[in-house]
Every structure is written in structure tokens, then in C-alpha cells.
Amino acid sequence: MTRHPDSAAFDRRVFLGAGLALSAGALMGGGGKAPATSGLVLEEADVEYLQAGMAAGGWTSVDLVRRCQARIRALDRTGPKLNSVIELNPEALASARALDAERKAGKVRGPLHGIPVLIKDNIDTADRMKTTAGSLALGDAPVPKKDAFIVAKLRAAGAVLLGKTNLSEWANLRSTRSSSGWSGRGGQTRNPYALDRSPSGSSSGSGAATAASLCAVAVGTETDGSVVSPANASGLVGLKPTVGLLSRRGIIPISHTQDTAGPMTRTVRDAALLLGAMAGTDPGDAATREADARREVDYTRFLTKDGLKGARLGVVKNLLGVHAHVDDVILPALEALKAQGATLVDVELKSAAYDDAEFEVLLFEFKADLNAYLGGRGGAVKDLITLMSFNEQRRQEEMPFFGQELLQQAQAKGPLTDPAYLKALETCAQARRDITGLLEKHQLQALVGPTGGPAWLIDHVNGDSSSLSFSSPAAVAGCPHITVPAGFAFGLPVGLSFVGGPWQEGALLRLAFSFEQATRARRAPRFAATAAVPR
């Protein structure tokens, strides 16, 4: 890929003076009056800080939306051009005004009241925004009839939908040579820590935008790695919940067995708040039938600094010794766990026994689930066949770098009664037995290990080149998985993962929060042109 011509010339010091300070002129956008924000600093701001300012009258939700919009113009559209936000919500300011009026009248819905949130562009909204999974094929599709269930819950919690984020097109189930963060509609998202590096995916824009403080918090989706991997690449907290804690209704699907939405935030506390707002039973998603009984009313009650004291954690040793620079970050992180009172036990956890079966399940379910979604959505593209035909007709726009062989493989699969599918599904059940078996055998609260390696170079010729990942066991098992910033390798973030048994989000948040508070490893990105590799 040709490096963006503005990347080398971008001078952060100049931008700090003209952009992050966000002069009154920059904030006026569209002829509006600049908000009086009484010292508001948006970079790295957490929900608690933003709420405190609104409660004290220092700023309003309208101010926050305008500041986020200005920051998006300065960092996403110009400057380093992260290209993480695929569309801004034209109704965001109106929503913020209505929520400010509620606050003035004495009504505050909860901790997300008036908070700007970005969501991935595969999550339905019944408003003036598009929902496309990054594909031009859905650019003219009818607006979804209803908000996704989790979107309805976010609105009810008082969140302001700021816009939608770019992603790996079709959540990265299109080609074996795809580039994470590229879509036909949105182009290539860049990693804010090194602009020539991948943001990973498929929740690429949600990761990059949150890392760059273009929003307060964001929502991603995961089938296998699509929340935790971009969170790892962008120095974020990423939480993939137990499958069934959050509804998938209204989310463009890959797999009803593995799909889930999840929070992508700069702090563990914000992840807990966002998770609580979205969790719950949806009559339209049978997988969530236990969610109301299993969910916590307030996940922040688990957040204590001494949460690691007395914990027994299984260190997945087969993930160490794979990448020397990752070890340089993770080994001190393990020492930090021990310093906080945790006991570490060496274990081994591999996914080789079900890797092929997982892929088989995803292809079968992608065909069935996507065809059902497209058929219900309406429009010219109504199934995989018409989608592939569209891509061929618009090949120059949709397939300039890689093809659609995974769509073709999915189309070749039979129905969900096919013996090959049922056998693969049975094989994948081993993943949950592996995780719960280790937890029970060694009396562990969680398994820990590196989430993945540092971000790789964007390569539109060869595609992605990730060398290390801890996502598959929890993804296939449907178990919760949270990643927390652990440190940096040549200026590129590396995360530490905590994986638990089903419905153990609270326990994982407790461990993750304690680690986060002890290490304080997250650092804001500086939009470097490339990684800080010694010459």
C-alpha cells in the first residue's frame, strides 16, 4: 500500500496547538456558537469525568457531541486521517439537546446519560444512518425497520449515538487475503499508534476511534477476535461477553453460535458501564433467554483495587515463547499479577482440535444467517448470490485488493441440517469443556495470556499477517474474554487477556480492574507515521 501523503508531514506538535486545544473557530462548525466547556479535556476522558462535568454545569451533552465532531474532523478526516468513523449521525445534536433538557428538568437516566457513543457499521439503527457492514452493496438498502436490541437499550440508557465506525467488510468473512479495517464503503482505517500499521479487526474503527478519543466509548462485535484483537492493537479494554448476555437481533450476522457485541473502552470501569447498559434478555434472540437472570444490575460493584488478592490464575504457557517482544511485555505483567496477590498456575490451552471445525461452522451459519438477515432487510441484495453478483459488477470498488472466496465457500455449503455442519458443531463443543475443565481442575478464577502480538503493517498485496492470538478458545466456547493494556513493543500496544467461564463477566472485570489500576499501562496515541523501531 502507498503510504498516505499526509502521514509523513503530519506534525503532532502543530496539531496540539491548533487541534486538541480546539479553538472556538474550530468548534463553531456549521455556523454554531462554540460551547463554553470550562476546561473540558476530551483526550482520554472517561465516563465518570464527563458525567461530573455535566452534573456541575461545566458542559452539556451538546458540548460533548460538538467536541467529538470537531475532533473527528481534526483527526479522522484531516491530520493523520485515521478513517475510523464511516458516518456521523445527523440526529446526534438533537438527541443531545433532548437529553440536556431532561437533565435540566431533574431526570438523569443513568451513567450513560448524554454520553457520545460510536457503534460499528454492522449494527442496525432505524434512523438517518446507513447500516452496511462496510459494503457498497447495502448502501441503497432500506433503512432497518427497528433499532438493534442493544441500540434500543443504549438509547433508553441515555447514550447519544454519535455515528458509526468502519470495519473489515462483512466483519472479515470475505477473503483469505483481506486487510483488517478495509471496506468498500469506508476504505482503510489506520492504527493511531502507527499510521502504517493495521488497526486489526473486524471492529477496526471502533478500536481506532476510541483510542484516539473521538468518542467516550464504542461498541464492537466479535465472532472470533473482532473485539479483543483491535482492542489489543489500539491499547484498549475490550470485552467479549458470554454469548447470550447481549442480544444479536439487528446485528448483521456471521454465526449465531459465536456472534456477540461488546464494549471497547479506554478503562475497565467504562467497559463495565457499557456492558450493563446493553445486557439483557431479548425475546427476539433465543440465546439470551438466561440473560436477565445472569446479568448484573451494576457491573461496577466488582471493581476493587485488591481484586487480584487471593486469585488463582492459569497462565497459558503455550502463548509464551512465541514472540519475544510480546514476552517482554507479558512477563512483567505476570509479575504484576503476583505482586497484587494472585497465584499463577501454568496451564496449556490449544485450539488445534477444533480450528477446522470452527471454520466449517462459520461458513454454514454465515450462509444461513446472512441470507435470513438480507431477506428481512429488503432491497436488491437479498442473499449471498446477489451479494456476490453485486461485487462482481462493482469489482473496481469492492475488490481492488482481494476477492470474495469466503463468500463463495459459504454459498457452497448446505443447510443447517447437513451432517457435516452438525459434526463440526459437536467438535466445537470441546472448546467450552477445555476452558471449564482447566478452571475446575486447578480451581482457577481465570486463564491469562497475551491477547495477541503488536499490530502488523497494512499490506493490501498480501493481506493480514498476525502471528499470535488468544481469541479462539473463548470465541468458540462462547465464554467471556477481556483484554487490558499491558505495555508497548516499539510503541505498539500489547494487551493481557483474562478468560473465564460462562457468565463470569463480573469476576473478569474485578481481575482486569485490579491489574489496570496496578499497572496504568495505557498511553494515548501520538499518531506516529510508523513504529518506533531502532534504525
What amino acid positions are annotated as catalytic residues?
120, 202, 226
CA dihedral 250→253→259→260, nearest 10 degrees, is -30
Alpha-carbon span 431 to 243, nearest angstrom: 14
Q: What are the residues whose beta carbons fall under 8 Å from the beta carbon of 171, sequence distance 6 or more? A: 122, 133, 201, 202, 221, 223, 226, 252, 254
Q: Pairing mode, if any, of strands 187-188 and 85-88?
A: unpaired
- Is residue 478 packed enough to be buried (19+ CB in 10 Å), middle (13-18) or exposed (0-12)? buried
Alpha helices in 394-429 (DSSP H): 395-398, 405-411, 419-428
Amino acid code (one letter) for 128: R
How big is the chain, counted in residues?
Answer: 535
Is the N-terminal amide bond of 202 cis, ω within 30° of 0? yes
Kindly provide the b/e burial profile for residues 403-423, where b requires at least 16 CB atoms within 10 angstroms of the residue's own CB.
bbebbebbbebeeeeeeebee
Tell me 336's DSSP state. Answer: H
Q: Are 45 and 270 in contact (CB under 8 A)?
A: no
DSSP state of 203: S
Alpha-carbon distance of 136 to 141, in angstroms, equals: 10
What is the rounded distance in angstroms from the CA atom of residue 79 to the CA atom of residue 360?
42
Question: What is the per-residue DSSP string for 123-173?
Answer: B--SSSS---TT-GGGTTSPPPSS--HHHHHHHHTT-EEEEEE--SGGGG-
Q: Residues 69, 116: contact at Cβ < 8 Å? A: no
Q: What are phi and psi of 62, to 5 degrees?
A: -60, -40
Q: Which residue has the cell 468518542?
A: 215
